[in-house]
Amino acid sequence: MLKITRKAEYALIALRHLNNIKDGELATVKEISTQYGIPQELLAKALQQLARAKLIEATKGPYGGYKLVTDPNEINMTKFFEILEGPMGIMDCSFDSGCNQLNACNIRTPINRINDSIRTIFDKLTLADITY
């Protein structure tokens, strides 16, 4: 349990990398994937998602690449994971999720409390903490 996907893992590695390069410099997917031994296409996808979410910014063409455009203190892990992996929580009890338990289920309330406390941790944890 609690595993994060490789995509998120790769994205974290890349974000940390972007946070450590010099101001004004860009890093390409190729560079990052080579340096850390990450499948290029998969990393590319993750960075595209982060770019769409405006955490990083892309420059196309030769000498292009990505740079971080958001203060690492502003990016918390809840946001980060939700960009890459969708809604967070150990269980999704909503009607939409098609849970046919809902009525019979005797653990919904406690589960929601667990979800809340995990979310609280991730809310407080910023990229800056991970990147320091």
Q: Which of residues 54-83 bind DNA (CB under 7 A)?
A: 58-66
Cα–Cα distance for residue pair 23/3, rounded to 1 Å: 33
By CB under 8 A, tell whether 67 contacts its own copies: no
Following DSSP, what letter does each residue of 64-132 receive, concatenated?
Answer: -EEEE-S-TTT-BHHHHHHHHH-S--S---STTTT-S-TTS-S-HHHHHHHHHHHHHHHHH-BHHHHH-
By CB under 7 A, tell whether 128 contacts DNA: no
By CB under 8 A, tell whether 27 contacts its own copies: no
Q: Pick from its own copies, DNA, none: which does 36 bind, CB < 5 to 8 A by kind?
A: its own copies
Whose Cβ is closer to DNA: residue 29's or residue 127's?
29
By CB under 7 A, tell whether 44 contacts DNA: yes
